[in-house]
Amino acid sequence: MPRMKLGWNLETGLERTLSSWKSVDDPTEGEYIVKMGLRGYPQIMNFKGPNLESRVGSWNGLSVVGYPGPVLATPQKFEINEKEVYYEFEVLARSVFIILALVPTVIGQNLFWTA
């Protein structure tokens, strides 16, 4: 979802993550989770259960290193301060529709439509 935060509220300890569904017809939490790791420089990490599957990387000032995406269609933001550490993106072009899906069998799929 555009403007959704992925990361941490450092004051309350609230962690905002993305998780897959358990199955295509069961929306309870599945085994894939995308979260912000705080060790070292914060970075986005993909887990299957407790196991780290991959790292998308940290912020380079323009985008996440491991997934730059179409920067013009989706401005990305990384915020780090004493209260929060989070990543978010925004869709500015009304002709663009984006879905990031964590399906039960795959870490993630990015689907982009343009008119």
Q: What is the mean pLDDT of each run of 10 residues along the chain (115 residues)?
A: 83 92 85 89 89 84 68 71 88 63 62 57
What local confidence, expressed as pLDDT, does residue 101 receive?
63
Using DSSP, state whether 95 is helix, strand or coil: coil
CA 6 to chain centroid, in Å, comes to 6
Q: Determine contact, residues 56/42, Cβ cutoff 8 Å.
A: no
DSSP symbols for 49-111: TTEEEEEEEEB-SSSBTTB---TTTS-EEEEESSSEEEEEE----TTEEEEEE--TTSS-EEE
pTM score, whole prediction: 0.73
pLDDT the model gives residue 76: 74
Residue 104's region, left for phi above 0, alpha for psi from -120 to 50, else beta, is alpha
- How far, in Å, CA of 33 to CA of 43, rounded? 14
The reported pLDDT for the residue numbered 61 is 75
* Side chain identity, residue 6: L
Could you state, in order of their start, the residue ranges of all structural domains in the chain? 6-114
pLDDT at 97: 59
